[in-house]
Amino acid sequence: MQIGKFFDIFTTMKSQLYKTYRYLWLPFFALLAIWIVYWIEIRFGFNFNSYGLFPRSLKGLRGILLSPFIHSGIEHLFKNSIPLIILISALAFFYPKKHIKILLYGFLFSGILTWIIARPSYHIGASGIVYFLASFLFFNGIKSKNYRLIALALTVAFVYGSLVWGVLPDQTKENISWEGHLSGLIIGFLLSYFYTSEFVTSELNFKKHKSVMQTEKEKEFMRQFDENGHFNPIEPEEEPTDEVLIKDLSNQLDIKVYYKPKQKK
């Protein structure tokens, strides 16, 4: 009995913790993965750059999946870590049922586009994912016309607006993969037209329900006008008095009394 009660408490606590921190699980594990890869490189002296994305080569295709986890140094890793955890958390909060699918599509398609258009060199780092997330959240927020998502879009534009310069070729920074940034921006823009936040869906359902309620009230009001358009209010039905109720009740009751005479001894 005690074990069963303990199990119920544990299950409830686990469920509450998941609901409270569910928006942080995905960014936490994403961040953990890229830091573990970098730690392995430093600890064991590996260099994973050759596993990055190399455009238009069969061997370079593996970089579509692997390159976001590989970074050139601690500075490169730090620059991507903070935007990743913030933007993935925002995606998980505003798109709770779709965020994993959106992130996977952005991860895959931005990598494919980079593989097609980029210079013949190894491209590494999660900055393409950062550009994808910023682009998706911005354009989807503007498109939605929802005040929460518009506020999110403006916040993204204010905090990460300078990212737009990273999609332009810069001869002074040849080690920057502007093609990966541009690919993330383009894919984020395109995917923003295929997905709608649950916040928008719930508000649309509320407005639809509200309009139906208003329609019923309007119909009730219009019934009070006759065919000539004259206002002819419907008289409320009179509530039956106690006397009428008793009379109706007596009419419904069918009382029969059977008398059995007492037999003489």
For 27-44, the pLDDT digits (tens) are 999 999 999 999 999 999
Residue 182 has what pLDDT? 96
Quote the CA–CA distance of 202 and 149 in Å, as a whole number: 13
Quote the CA–CA distance of 93 and 21 in Å, as a whole number: 10
* 128, 111 contact by CB (below 8 A): yes
* 123, 63 contact by CB (below 8 A): yes
Q: Is residue 223 part of a domain?
A: no
Q: Is the pLDDT of residue 246 over 90?
A: no
Closest C-alpha among 240, 222, 239 to residue 231: 222
For 172-190, the pLDDT digits (tens) are 577 889 999 999 999 999 9
Quote the CA–CA distance of 219 and 209 in Å, as a whole number: 16
Q: Is residue 116 part of a domain?
A: yes
Quote the CA–CA distance of 67 and 114 in Å, as a whole number: 11
Q: Is residue 184 part of a domain?
A: yes
Q: Is residue 178 part of a domain?
A: yes
Closest C-alpha among 138, 192, 128 to residue 166: 128
Q: Is residue 5 part of a domain?
A: no
Residue 12 has what pLDDT? 53
Q: Is residue 173 part of a domain?
A: yes
Q: Is the pLDDT of residue 20 over 50?
A: yes
For 122-151, the pLDDT digits (tens) are 999 999 999 999 999 999 989 888 888 888
Q: Which residues neighbour 27 within 8 Å (Cβ) at sequence distance 6 or greater?
A: 84, 85, 86, 88, 89, 92
Range of the domain at 79: 26-198
Give percent of the chain with pLDDT exceeding 70: 66
Q: Is residue 2 part of a domain?
A: no
Q: Is the pLDDT of residue 9 over 70?
A: no
Q: Is the pLDDT of residue 243 over 80?
A: no
Q: Is residue 214 part of a domain?
A: no
**For the domain that residue 77 is a member of, what is the CATH number?**
1.20.1540.10
How many domains does the chain contain in total?
1
